[in-house]
Amino acid sequence: MHERAHAVPAVEPGIDRGGASGALRSPYFAHPGDTDSDEASRGASRDPDRLHSSTTDGPGTSSSLFRPGINCCATGHAERVALLVDGAAYYETFVHAARKARHTILILGWDFDSRTTLLVDSKSRHVLKLGDFLNDIARARRSLHIYVLEWDYPVIFGTDRELAPIYGLTWKPHRRIHFRFDDTHPVAGSHHQKIVVIDDRVAFVGGLDLTGRRWDTPAHRPDDPGRVFEGKPYPPMHDVMAAVDGAAARALGDIARGRWLAATRQSLDPVATKNDPWPSSLQPDAVGVHFGLACTSPPINGAEPVREIEQLYLDMIARARRYIYIENQYFTSYKIARALAARLAEPDGPEIVLVTRLLGHGWLEEMTMTTLRARHVGDLRKADVHGRFYACCPHAEGLAENTCIDTHSKLMIADDEWLRVGSANISNRSMGVDTECDLVIQANGLDHVTDAIRGFRNRLLAEHLGADPAEVARLIESKGSMRAAIEQLGRPERTLAPLQVEPVSEPAISVASLADMEQPVSMEQLMEQLSADHADEEPARSRVPWGKLLAALVVIAALTALWRFTPLAEIFTAKNVVAWTESFSRHWWAPFLVVLAYTPASVVMFPRPVITLAAVVSFGPWEGLAYAMTGVLIASAAGYYAGRWFGRNTVRRFAGRRLNRLTHALQQRGVLAVTAVRLVPIAPFIVESMVAGAIHIKLWQVSAGTFLGMLPGALMATVLGDAAQSALHDPSRINWWFVGATILALAIGSVIVTRWLHRVSSEGAHHDAPGHRDRSDR
């Protein structure tokens, strides 16, 4: 472990941890002394000295917004708060603060890229890169250790990310720079917190990672030469970070150390130092500020989930009286949308302005998050019977086609009383699936804080409108409405344009919702649910199936004999097979035959991948895949309608004990359950389809789940079929390494899934056995 700075006192003045029911629920909130590995996995501290009643509600406050343990994990006072708008301001401030670090720099991020440009010297044009900068300050100060904790992202997110620094290929970190990936999150979850803590004296929190394609200025010029990453320009980016010190910085340090402990099982000491890393050039927006920190953390290693961010949003919306100003990348949380709709229905409720980006990142995000946003914005406009809702997006002339000002900020301001800045999107996953951290400051009747909050709102609106903050303030005051000021100050070159949305169908909403789940998917629970009644079959499965093995050997021997001692080998030559497939594909009825073949194949349980392989060889990879998926969907629909016609009682004879298990899963999970049972079949394809029809699941849900669940297998068959087609035309073209890797991946995946099912089944049986006691009771 590194050279430790002096430990902080056991009781930190000015921080309320919320009691045993508060921040201790979070698996990512560490305190000194949390070194036990079991405690690390739960992330809970048992040090009572660090818990004490809050005395920091401040003057003029009869009832604070903050409820530790319910809507926040820590409260207290920050001596200074500065609000940094856009990447240029944040990166420059980070550089000045990090240069003054003496002991530790803690960096948490959704992404981290050592190639990120932090500063460009306007005179020498010298470019300061993040990786070089961190190495320089680590070399310059021997007492300094830098800890970087990045989300251990799946490969699908890695196409535009830097190769892992731990390999030293693109950046070799100094020996006192400790880089780790954090995989302590549920399936489909992520670590989304963006926190930097310097010597526990200064901290940054908000929506910006230290990574590429984030730097920009409030001007958001379409042709800004500084907005280039790795030689490629990118669209304007708007975001907000907060710089804090005092108790707020120490509390953020606790969160960062808790994350490091959970990810690495290594504890880091807090820092006590007289060194003040606050940059001398950074003027605070407010001083003596009452703050609250709210987190989201999913259930990890038995810890209770933390949903403070969601509750704090709901509480702020409920307490707002005059206005709510929101900037957010997404707007898909149905609970937040419902709460806003309720306020719009009130005759004297607050005015609500939502600023979000025009376009999503790519077609997938457009089909999911943008679709969900369209539904919620449309519902709010219907609820807006008093004309107090305005949804808009920043617009600037001269941007390239299909680009926009990427509004990436996550902030909310209400009544000049509360201002929140953080990492949490207004999405379902940010409320319960991903790790998030938001900072909220509260005026508490202090005029200078009220003025700072109001001034920051006006500053943001002025940026979006290309106007002067004083003019924004004057118009809002005179007209009594943010929307009125926006509409008067907006001009073609810079404005907040009304967000246009189209009506969205229910099937589209349900499919899009799979990308924005409210709760994490527990694969263990899902597998246990889908395989629960297999526990009693385990003894039989554990015996060696000698009869089946003998039968398989006989079949293999018979086929070998037929190939060697009959004319089959001369008939089925590569040349003949190529000729047959080409002749077959020329017939007009060939595609129809392939598509329709999947239905009888499902009935007689003929292997569908064989048909897919034949289709790919005959028609090529993409056309063959299209026919295959069409045939699978038709077979699924046929089984579905057969199940509806036969009815539940008749289908029960086919499904047997699987019926109840399938019924419960399908009724509870919908599209997600259909996808799961198609990916990991617990009954024949036709039986699953008939059960879905018998219990009257909606056809579009069955079709959507079937498409998603069958697509991976069909793609794999397509890859192999394409390789086979190449080999038939020219055997020297076949890539044996690729084919071997594909087969190996299938085999490994099959073994893993099978063992997982068996393990979960046996654990489920053990859990239900008499006398079993859960480990958490020990």
Over residues 622-636, mean pLDDT: 87
3-state DSSP helix/strand/coil percent for the chain, to nearest 5? Answer: 50, 15, 35
Q: Give me the DSSP letters along 402-451.
A: T---EE--EEEEETTTEEEEES--BSHHHHHTSBEEEEEEE-TT-HHHHH
Of 162-176, 365-379, 521-535, the one with minimum mean pLDDT is 521-535
Positive or negative: CA dihedral 744, 750, 751, 756: positive
Domain 15-283: what homologous superfamily? Endonuclease Chain A (3.30.870.10)
Q: How many Å apart are CA 272 and CA 668, to the nearest integer?
A: 52
Give pLDDT, residue 772: 38
Q: What is the pLDDT of residue 660?
A: 55
pLDDT in tens, 466-500: 999 999 999 999 999 999 999 999 999 999 999 99
Q: Are 765 and 535 in contact (CB under 8 A)?
A: yes
Structure tokens given for 640: 């579905």
Q: Would you say residue 417 has pLDDT above 80?
A: yes
**Average of pLDDT values for 326-338?**
98
Q: CA angle, 404 as apex, 399 and 410 as ends, to 5°?
A: 145
Bridge-based pairing of strands 228-229 and 232-233 is: antiparallel
Q: Across 298-387, where does the E strand assignment appear?
A: 306-307, 323-328, 351-355
Asked whether residue 310 carries a pLDDT value surpassing 80, the answer given is yes
Domains in the chain: boundaries: 15-283, 306-513, 523-768
The fold of 306-513 is Endonuclease; Chain A (3.30.870)
CB 284 within 8 A of CB 249: no
Per the model's pLDDT, the better-predicted residue between 226 and 512 turns out to be: 226
Helix (H, G, I), strand (E, B) or coil at 230: coil
The mean per-residue pLDDT over the stretch 207-232 comes to 94
Helix pair angle (334-345, 308-319), 10° resolution: 10
- For residues 585 and 617, give the distance between their C-alpha atoms in angstroms, rounded to a whole number: 9
Q: For residue 750, count CB atoms less than 10 angstroms from its CB and return exposed for 0-12, middle for 13-18, buried for 19 or more.
A: exposed
pLDDT at 509 exceeding the cut of 60: yes
Question: At 557, which helix (H) or strand (E)?
Answer: helix 546-565
Whether residue 301 is predicted with pLDDT greater than 90 in this model: the reply is no
What are the two backbone dihedrals, phi and then psi, of residue 198, each rounded to the nearest 5 degrees?
A: -115, 110
Lowest mean pLDDT among 46-55, 220-229, 279-288, 573-582: 46-55
* Per-residue pLDDT tens digits for 255-269: 999 999 999 999 999
Checking if the pLDDT of 655 tops 90, the result is no
CB 453 within 8 A of CB 237: no
The mean per-residue pLDDT over the stretch 344-370 comes to 92
How far is the C-alpha of 448 from the C-alpha of 468, rounded, in Å? 21
CB count in 10 Å sphere of residue 468: 12
Residues 6+ apart with CB under 8 A from 530: 661, 665, 676, 677, 680, 682, 757
pLDDT tens digits for range 437-473: 999 999 999 999 999 999 999 999 999 999 999 999 9
Q: Which amino acid is at 130?
A: L
Please determine, for residue 539, whether its predicted confidence score (pLDDT) is greater than 50.
no
DSSP line for 43-57: T----GGG-------
Instruction: For CA atoms 575, 577, 580, 585, give the dihedral sign.
Output: negative
Return the biggest CA–CA distance within the chain. 98
The continuous run of DSSP H or E covering 425 comes out as none
Structure tokens at 578: 């190529």
Helix (H) or strand (E) holding 415: none
φ, ψ (nearest 5 deg) of residue 748: -65, -45
Q: Is 360 helix (H, G, I), strand (E, B) or coil?
A: coil
* pTM (2 d.p.): 0.69
Task: Count CA atoms closer than 13 A to 24's CA, side-chain side.
Answer: 15
Q: Looking at the predicted structure, is the pLDDT value of residue 38 above 50?
A: no
Phi, psi of 441 (to 5 degrees): -110, 145
